[in-house]
Structure 1
Amino acid sequence: MSDQITLRRKVYEVLETTEKRSKLSSIIDIGLVVLIVVNIMSVVLESVESMNSRFGILFEYIEIFSVAVFTIEYLMRLWVCPEDPIEGADKNPRLKHMRSPMAVIDILAILPFYLTYMFAIDLRFLRVLRLLRILKLTRYSSAMTMLLDVFKEEASAFFAGFFILMVLLILAASGAYLAEHQIQPVKFGSIPAAMWWSMATLTTVGYGDVTPVTVAGKIFGACVTIVGIGMAALPAGILANGLATQLNRKREVMAEQFRMALQDGNIDDQEADAIEELRKDLGVSVNVANGILETVQKNKIKTKLHFCPNCGESLSQYAKENV
């Protein structure tokens, strides 16, 4: 039993991002990233008829090999998930893992292949779903991971923005219908038909294939366009604020690590290795990390200047008492 646990722990450290990263872990990560990229290129090129007829067998071999690797990866991650400090604390860690976003992405990456062979009907649209495998790159990209964290944390704000957009969409379509349905019964003959114009106008795309021709319709369309500018900026603002918050959190984590390392006045080799590993995990560049270190060192010097080196009392407080 202990050997099994030891083996499971070793596999966990190879597959997942831990402090004990080895060369094997890096090789496996790079191999999986390359395989995902090859898969995406294969799906895209397969849609070209001339390429599919010429390299169809090669695309099929790539698909079979990829599904085999991704299936093994999914089963291995499901096996080692009890070693995870968060999922392992749950009563049913494997069920918790299966419900996690990355596990759902992993299963969606292989599901189209198995469904194609399970059902005796034409499910070519399922093959297009193989493009979802690009989401597997999220595990190996700190930027994409941070973006998903933003969507998760700002879900309520995005939902509120989406709700407002839906309300405005219906109101804009209703107004356009009232102003234009008699003049343009084909394009604005109903509120659902007018929704195409209202969506294109609210999102400031403005295809131009459907436009108001009445005076009331043009005035109303101009108002909708102005409102649409604000609506287009709303999700962008939420996303930008969320990304800024995530970046500040990462920098604060780096700063705290530097503060702990500088408690004795210098950073030894072991602390430097731990900081470098943390920097890579957080996706912080070397220049940004150096800037954070300089800021922490300056703040540490300023703090020392405000306290007596002998007794440790605040010099500013001493100055106030003797004024």
Structure 2
Amino acid sequence: MISRRKLTHEILDIGNKQHTLGTVIDIFLIALISLNVLSVILETLPSITALEHQGFYWFEVFSVIVFSIEYVARVWSCIEDGEIHHKHPVWGRLRYMLTPLALIDLIVILPFYLSMMLVVDLRFMRVLRLLRVFKLTRYSSSMSLLLQVLHREARSIGAALFVLFMLIIVASSLIYFAEHHAQPEVFSSIPAAMWWAIVTMTTVGYGDVIPVTIMGKVMASVISIMSLGIVALPAGLLASGFSEAVRERRRTYHKMVNMALQDGEIDSVEHKALNQMRETLGITKEEAAHILHTNIDRKMEQEVGQDLYQLRQEIDAVLHDRCPHCDHKIKWLERRKRDTESS
């Protein structure tokens, strides 16, 4: 018999939705997180702020209670995870509590409890409630893919950002020495010149600060041209990482389909496992169907041979009123007339 802790972990685990209750809880938490973000946005409206509506407060209390129960349940059941780092009853839970998603779960409820325990005015920490939107990363395959790409490309992106930061320092230093005497109130220091460097290098160009000297304009031109590729480098790394991650997910699904087709058929258990894998990887039903049909056709081609496979394709095309060579739709009478003339 499965233990309560194991059952709790399976219900809360996003990648293992074997329980209907788990799906219901996911939908409820997604709706609650979305309403919390909407509540924070609406509270900033002057008309609502003037009313001091108590409904927002009690909704906040209800949300904190729900998120607290979720957090405690996740920490309690995390040692049932397959990760070996979470097996120890004490150190495993501590390691889980230091993971990014667990820290987000803690941060979004911490301001409420701190405001109750401390006399200090912590209203400025209410903005941390907006971090609840990051809890949606648990339920969004796209956000999980983004986190995966950021983790994988962390070193490359870090190196690109370091080079960008160095270029900002060089650009702000050069423009300071070129423009300080002409515009001492604008380029009063190198840190003040960094605003101009960032705006110029990102091609935003607000126009509030501009060089007026010949040397300053020459430096601005050189810096603008040099920064085009460097500023775009992190975006290129992210795009490349996204493409590779998507291809890797497709390869993973391909491998699972091939394993399911080893015996020549896909039973109900394999079909359910494929659906769970598809949802976990964020693959659409159309794309999954295309992968499945491709693997089936490839397996049939290997089993019956190339000649028989092509013959089957031609027979299927004719039966669906399509030309086996150009795939254009043909009429039955035209096909019959053509066959009669050829005979």
* TM-score past 0.5 threshold: yes
How many matched pairs?
304
Aligned partner letter, 1:214: T
Distance 1:165 1:279 in 2: 38
Q: CA deviation at 1:88?
A: 3.5
Query: In structure 2, do the counterparts of structure 1 residues 94 and 211 end up closer, same or farther at CA, with 3 Å as the change threshold?
Result: same
Match of 2:186 in 1: 187
Residues 158 and 238 in structure 1, CA contact (< 8 A), matched pair in contact too? yes
Identity %: 45
Match of 1:273 in 2: 272
**Residue 89 in structure 1 maps to residue 87 in structure 2:** yes
**Residue 294 in structure 1 maps to residue 293 in structure 2:** yes
Query: In structure 2, do the counterparts of structure 1 residues 179 and 305 end up closer, same or farther at CA, with 3 Å as the change threshold?
Result: farther
- Summarize the alignment of residues 241-252 of structure 1 with structure 2, pairs less than 5 Å apart: 241-252=240-251
- Summarize the alignment of residues 1-323 of structure 1 with structure 2, pairs less than 5 Å apart: 6-19=3-16, 21-54=18-51, 56-86=53-83, 87-90=85-88, 92-304=91-303
SS of residue matched to 1:210: coil
Q: CA deviation at 1:233?
A: 1.3
- Give the stretch that moved more between structures: 105-114 or 265-274: 265-274
Distance 1:50 1:166 in 2: 43
Aligned partner letter, 1:198: A
SS of residue matched to 1:85: coil
For residues 7-58 of structure 1, the C-alpha deviation after alignment (integer angstroms, 9 at most, x for no partner) is 1111111111354522111111111111101110111111122112335211
Q: CA deviation at 1:227?
A: 1.9
Look at both structures and tell me which one has the larger radius of gyration over its CA atoms: 2
Match of 1:320 in 2: none
Query: In structure 2, do the counterparts of structure 1 residues 88 and 174 end up closer, same or farther at CA, with 3 Å as the change threshold?
Result: closer
Distance 2:151 2:79 in 1: 24
Give 4+ residue runs of structure 1 displaced > 6 Å after superposition.
Answer: none
Q: CA deviation at 1:269?
A: 2.0
Query: In structure 2, do the counterparts of structure 1 residues 167 and 305 end up closer, same or farther at CA, with 3 Å as the change threshold?
Result: farther
Residues 173 and 193 in structure 2, CA contact (< 8 A), matched pair in contact too? yes
Query: In structure 2, do the counterparts of structure 1 residues 174 and 20 end up closer, same or farther at CA, with 3 Å as the change threshold?
Result: closer
Aligned partner letter, 1:268: D
Residues 11 and 21 in structure 2, CA contact (< 8 A), matched pair in contact too? yes
- Give the stretch that moved more between structures: 75-84 or 258-267: 258-267
Aligned partner letter, 2:33: I
SS of residue matched to 1:263: coil
For residues 59-96 of structure 1, the C-alpha deviation after alignment (integer angstroms, 9 at most, x for no partner) is 10111110111011100101101111104435721011
Distance 1:20 1:188 in 2: 58
Aligned partner letter, 1:89: K
- Give the alignment's TM-score, normalised by structure 2: 0.84
Q: CA deviation at 1:99?
A: 0.9
SS of residue matched to 1:254: helix
Q: CA deviation at 1:299?
A: 3.3
Query: In structure 2, do the counterparts of structure 1 residues 114 and 242 end up closer, same or farther at CA, with 3 Å as the change threshold?
Result: same
Distance 2:277 2:32 in 1: 27
For residues 187-227 of structure 1, the C-alpha deviation after alignment (integer angstroms, 9 at most, x for no partner) is 11211111110011111111110010111111111111112
Distance 2:229 2:124 in 1: 36
- Give the alignment's TM-score, normalised by structure 1: 0.89
Distance 2:295 2:78 in 1: 37
Distance 1:20 1:171 in 2: 53
Aligned partner letter, 1:230: G
Residues 203 and 231 in structure 1, CA contact (< 8 A), matched pair in contact too? no
Distance 2:159 2:17 in 1: 42
Aligned partner letter, 1:122: D
Distance 2:305 2:190 in 1: 70
Query: In structure 2, do the counterparts of structure 1 residues 18 and 159 end up closer, same or farther at CA, with 3 Å as the change threshold?
Result: closer
Q: CA deviation at 1:148?
A: 0.6
Aligned partner letter, 2:246: L
Aligned partner letter, 2:175: A
Unaligned runs of 5+ in 2: 307-343
Distance 2:17 2:110 in 1: 32
Residues 37 and 132 in structure 2, CA contact (< 8 A), matched pair in contact too? yes
Residues 204 and 232 in structure 1, CA contact (< 8 A), matched pair in contact too? no
Unaligned runs of 5+ in 1: 308-323
Q: CA deviation at 1:115?
A: 1.8
